[in-house]
């Protein structure tokens, strides 16, 4: 008996559910989720052939300005090929489904500027070292109303973790939870966060590709469901400059090939971390200045990364240290091995998750290959050390702007090598143009332009 293939199953599923439109998403170098939408009758052939996309879209920034990148102009196409494994009916859009796509060249090979293919290459590099990863993001966002003048105001002034915040946002949060359940995305925790109107939801970890795909569907779900409730959900890093920023902390753990043993766990290691886990963390810290250009990738990101805001501002790590770039999360007693993981706090939700997760993996693996040591854990807020103490401990302040982070990325040949020339060049060009455009404008323009793009 032949197995029905996944593409056939998806077509049958869509037809049976009377789906008419299927959104085929990609995420660009500016971190914007875009896509093209196929009508149901074309679904079968689109799954095989993809949908045409001008190559110029990977040179477009978050202001729809085209950056100068050789070969990314009006001539030339790639194909957006949907991955049937990501198919989901979208609960907030009747008779509509969604899939994420790979950017594929006309000859059928992955395009060198395809972010999702970049992440797949990093997953393969980890597998070569016998490592499979589990990853998950925490989603923080600010819920707002739009005022007649086009600016935004938070929906509440609830306190951190306050039950009154739960009361005020109950209906919209419940609809988000049910929409995620319907998309096979398991919810872990929810609570009102510190900032006015700020919410947080975390989802279950998964392999890196599934985690990055979920990231897209979660962002879409939060934004769409809030909109249906007459609200604007902003996942931008600092949508209100006087309030706590929105993080998109990335949790990760390292497993053996069979995904049975957590290689990060060592009962007798410092904070139950294995040497392998420590080297992976050391690799992240070593590459952090350049890595930031991919994990905190917008102009607005650098207004979030300030000392004393629990978002991290220094290349430090420590157990449950919420001012460290990497926090080793304390394990839970019922499953110490299974719950051992670390979190990159220096990450937000204006990322392209395929680039951010892939670059995190590349940096960590470099630490493993070079057997790096992350040094002494930091047990206080690193901002409270004197400059001399930080220097002694090898703790560096993060780049203070997107442009500085891009300089660091440009000088990081391991990271640019992992990205490959076309992805690295187009990414740099897009982001440099964003920096240039925003630095010529005021803060009101910055906030307004970031607010509802992420
Ligand atoms: N909102 C903080 C950030 O910008 C994180 C607060 C926390 O969850 O520790 O990352
Ligand atoms: Mg939080």
Instruction: Report which bound ligand comes closest to the CA of 244.
Output: 1
Number of neighbouring beta carbons within 10 Å of residue 420: 15
Q: Is 191 in the pocket of ligand 1 (CB under 6 A)?
A: no
Summarised one tens digit per residue, pLDDT across range 315-360 is 999 999 999 999 999 999 999 999 999 999 999 999 999 999 999 9
| Mean pLDDT of all residues in 248-274 | 96
Report the C-alpha gap between 7 and 44 in whole angstroms. Answer: 7
As given in the structure block, the two tokens for residue 239 are 């949508």
Atom number in ligand 1 closest to CA 311: 10
Q: Evaluate if residue 91 carries a pLDDT over 60.
A: yes
Average pLDDT, the chain: 97
* 379: confidence class by pLDDT, cuts 50, 70, 90: very high
The number of residues in the chain equals 454
**Residue from 160, 235, 306, 322 whose mutation best tests the ligand 1 pocket (most atoms within 8 A of CB):** 322
Q: Is the CB of 310 under 6 A from ligand 1?
A: yes
Judged on CB neighbours under 10 Å (0-12, 13-18, 19+), 96 is middle
Say yes or no to pLDDT of 1 above 80.
no
For residue 192, the CA-to-ligand 2 centroid distance in Å is 9
Whether 395 has a pLDDT exceeding 70, the answer reads yes
Instruction: Please say whether the beta carbons of 255 and 139 come within 8 A.
Output: no
Nearest to 251 by CA among 166, 170, 328: 328
Rounded CA gap, 274 and 385, in Å? 27
At 242, phi and psi to the nearest 5?
Answer: -100, 10
Q: Is 199 in the pocket of ligand 1 (CB under 6 A)?
A: no
Ligand in closest contact with the CA of 237: 1
Taking residues 220-249, what's their average pLDDT? 98
Q: What is the pLDDT of residues 275-315, one digit of tens each?
A: 999 999 999 999 999 999 999 999 999 999 999 999 999 99
Mention every residue, 6+ apart, whose C-beta is less than 8 A from residue 337: 261, 262, 265, 331
Q: Above pLDDT 70, what percent of the chain?
A: 99
Atom of ligand 1 nearest to the CA of 237: 4
**β-pairing verdict for 152-154 and 250-255:** unpaired
- What is the rounded average pLDDT of the residues 403-431? 98
If pLDDT is split at 50, 70 and 90, which confidence band does 152 have? very high
Instruction: Quote the pLDDT of residue 4.
Output: 64
What structural domains and CATH numbers belong to the chain? 21-58+68-113 (3.10.20.70), 121-451 (3.30.590.10)
Pocket test for ligand 1, best of 202, 239, 244, 292 (most atoms within 8 A of CB): 244
Which residues on neighbouring strands pair with residue 103, listed in sequence order?
A: 80
Say how far apart CA 286 and CA 107 lie, in whole Å: 38
- Going by pLDDT thresholds of 50, 70 and 90, the confidence category of residue 397 is very high
pLDDT at 3: 57
Compute, in angstroms, the gap from residue 145 CA to the centroid of ligand 1: 22
Instruction: Evaluate: CB of 247 within 6 angstroms of ligand 1.
Output: yes
What is the rounded CA–CA span in Å between residue 379 and residue 390? 13
Ligand 1 contacts CB of residue 353 (under 6 A): no
pLDDT grade for 49, boundaries at 50, 70 and 90: very high
**SS (HEC) of 270-334:** HHHECHHHHHHHHHHHHHHHHHHHHHCCCCCHHHHCCCCCCCCCEEEEEECCCCEEEEEECCCHH
Which atom of ligand 1 lies at the shortest distance from residue 247's CA?
Answer: 10
pLDDT of residue 2: 52
Q: What is the pLDDT of residue 225?
A: 98
CA of 200 to the centre of ligand 1 (A): 9
The number of the ligand nearest the C-alpha atom of 199 reads: 2
DSSP state letter for 129 = T
Smallest Cα–Cα separation from 339: which of 253, 214, 256? 253
Mean pLDDT of 224-231: 98
- Ligand 1 atom at minimal distance to the Cα of residue 138: 8
Mean of the pLDDT values across residues 252-268? 97
């Amino acid at each position: 008996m032949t197995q029905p293939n996944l593409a056939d199953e998806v077509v049958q599923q869509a037809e049976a559910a009377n789906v008419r439109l299927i959104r085929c998403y990609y995420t660009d170098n500016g971190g914007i989720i875009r896509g093209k939408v196929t009508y149901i009758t074309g679904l079968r052939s689109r799954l095989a052939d993809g949908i045409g996309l001008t190559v110029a879209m990977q040179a477009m920034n978050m202001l729809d300005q085209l950056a100068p990148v050789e070969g990314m102009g009006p001539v030339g196409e790639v194909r957006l090929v949907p991955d049937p494994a990501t198919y989901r009916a979208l609960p907030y859009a009747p008779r509509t489904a969604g899939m994420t796509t790979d950017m594929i060249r006309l000859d059928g090979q992955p395009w060198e500027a395809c972010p999702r293919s970049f992440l797949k290459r990093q997953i393969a590099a980890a597998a070569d070292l016998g490592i499979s990863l589990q990853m998950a993001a925490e989603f923080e966002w600010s819920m707002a109303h739009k005022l007649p003048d086009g600016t935004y105001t938070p929906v509440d002034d609830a306190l951190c973790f306050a039950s009154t915040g739960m009361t005020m946002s109950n209906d919209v949060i419940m609809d988000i939870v049910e929409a995620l359940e319907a998309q096979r995305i398991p919810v872990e925790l929810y609570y009102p966060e510190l900032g006015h109107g700020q919410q947080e939801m975390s989802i279950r970890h998964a392999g890196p590709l599934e985690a990055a795909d979920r990231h897209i569907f979660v962002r879409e779900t939060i934004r769409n469901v809030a909109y249906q409730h007459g609200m604007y959900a902003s996942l931008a890093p600092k949508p209100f400059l006087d309030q706590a920023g929105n993080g998109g902390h990335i949790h990760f753990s390292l497993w053996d090939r069979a995904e049975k043993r957590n290689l990060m766990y060592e009962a007798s290691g410092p904070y139950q971390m294995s040497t392998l886990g420590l080297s992976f963390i050391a690799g992240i810290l070593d590459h952090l200045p350049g890595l930031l250009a991919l994990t905190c990738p917008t102009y607005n990101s650098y207004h979030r990364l300030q000392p004393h805001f629990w978002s991290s501002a220094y290349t430090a790590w420590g157990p449950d240290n919420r001012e460290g770039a990497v926090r080793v999360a304390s394990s839970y007693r019922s499953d110490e091995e299974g719950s051992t993981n670390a979190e990159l706090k220096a990450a937000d939700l204006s990322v392209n998750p395929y680039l951010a997760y892939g670059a995190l993996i590349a940096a960590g693996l470099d630490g493993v290959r070079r057997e790096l040591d992350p040094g002494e854990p930091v047990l206080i807020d690193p901002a409270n050390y004197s400059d001399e103490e930080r220097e002694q401990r090898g703790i560096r302040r993060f780049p203070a702007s997107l442009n500085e982070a891009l300089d660091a990325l440009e000088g990081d040949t391991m990271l640019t090598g992992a990205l490959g020339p076309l992805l690295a060049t187009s990414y740099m060009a897009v982001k440099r143009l964003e920096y240039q455009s925003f630095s010529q404008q005021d803060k009101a323009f910055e906030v307004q332009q970031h607010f509802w793009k992420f």
